[in-house]
Every structure is written in C-alpha cells, then in structure tokens.
C-alpha cells in the first residue's frame, strides 16, 4: 500500500524538512494540486523525498508515522532493508578513522615491525576518537522534544 502525500508531508515537516540520516534539505515546494494525492509521477517525489521504514518492512515494519522517516534517495538506497542499528553499524565501519585503525592493525600483523611507540601511539590516538554515528534526525527530534518539554 503506497504512503499518501499528506502523510509524507506530515513526516517531512516532523523531520524538519531534512533527510533523517544525512540532514540534506529535502524538496518541499510541491504544486498545490499534488499535496493531497498519492501521485508518484511528480519529479519532486521520486527525485528528492523518500520515506524510509525505521523498522524494515521485511521484518514486519508498517507504514505507521512512528516507523517512517523522511529520507533522501541516496540514504534510502544505502540503508536498504537494514534496521537502524544495522545501518548505523555499517556506516561506523565505513568511518575513515575506523578503517585507518583496521589498516594499521593489519599492517602490524602482516609486517614484522619494531615495537615503535609512535606506531602504537597513533593507533591509541585513533581509537580514542569518537566514531559513533548520530543521525541528524535524532538530534533534531531530541531538540524538538526538549523544546516541547520547556514550553509545557
């Protein structure tokens, strides 16, 4: 069952007009005649705004607004049918610091290097870096929740 335009726009507004995963500003100026239709033909729908299921459909995720986030095409394609935590772990493995640590450790295991303190210091310095992935949409939602809590 397709996700209606009205629901898409509510989710886009809820997510601050940005992709939940990368923070890219998404297309929002749809022609008035399309705002209450399920038209997939409008180039703005297919090219810019996508809906992603936080809990993937393959695992029983529904089209509930709580399970949908605004997403750009690139992030939606990259995430695919991964869960949020699987996608976060995938992105963390791609982080340049994480890859550098893995490469240095591989070199250490493959090549008989002298026990050089600088080499181990470099690994220690890289491992101290925070490589956790926090999606912009999470930051935005937390800020909105705090704002709502203050105004009550």
Q: What is the pLDDT along the chain (152 residues), one digit of tens a residue?
A: 688 889 999 999 999 888 898 888 887 665 555 555 555 555 544 446 889 999 999 899 899 999 999 998 888 988 999 998 999 888 888 878 777 877 877 777 777 666 677 777 877 887 887 777 788 888 887 788 787 775 55
pLDDT score of 36:
54
Domains of the chain: 5-80 (1.10.30), 95-128 (no CATH)
* CA–CA gap between residue 89 and residue 79 (Å, rounded): 11
pLDDT score of 34:
54
pLDDT score of 41:
52
8 Å CB contact between 51 and 57: no
pLDDT score of 132:
78
Nearest C-alpha neighbor of 27 from the set 65, 71, 57, 59: 71
> What sign results for the dihedral spanned by CA atoms 4, 6, 9, 10?
negative
Our CA dihedral for 72, 77, 78, 79, rounded to 10 degrees, sits at 90
DSSP letters for 1-57: -PPPHHHHHHHHHHTTTB-TTT-PBPP----GGGTTS--S-SHHHHHT-EEEESS-G
């Amino acid at each position: 069952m397709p996700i209606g335009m009205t629901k898409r726009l509510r989710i886009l507004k809820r997510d601050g007009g940005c992709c939940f995963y990368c923070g890219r500003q998404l297309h929002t100026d749809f022609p008035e005649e399309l705002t209450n239709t399920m038209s997939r033909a409008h180039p703005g729908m297919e090219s810019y705004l996508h809906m992603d299921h936080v809990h993937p459909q393959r695992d029983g995720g529904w089209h509930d607004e709580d399970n949908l986030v605004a997403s750009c095409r690139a992030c939606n394609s990259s995430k695919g049918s991964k869960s949020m935590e699987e996608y976060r772990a995938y992105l963390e493995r791609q982080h340049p610091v994480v890859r550098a640590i893995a490469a240095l450790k591989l070199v250490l295991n493959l090549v008989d290097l002298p026990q050089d303190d600088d080499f181990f210091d470099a690994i220690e310095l890289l491992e101290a870096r925070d490589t956790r992935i926090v999606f912009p949409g999470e930051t935005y939602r937390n800020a909105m929740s705090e704002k709502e809590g203050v105004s009550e």
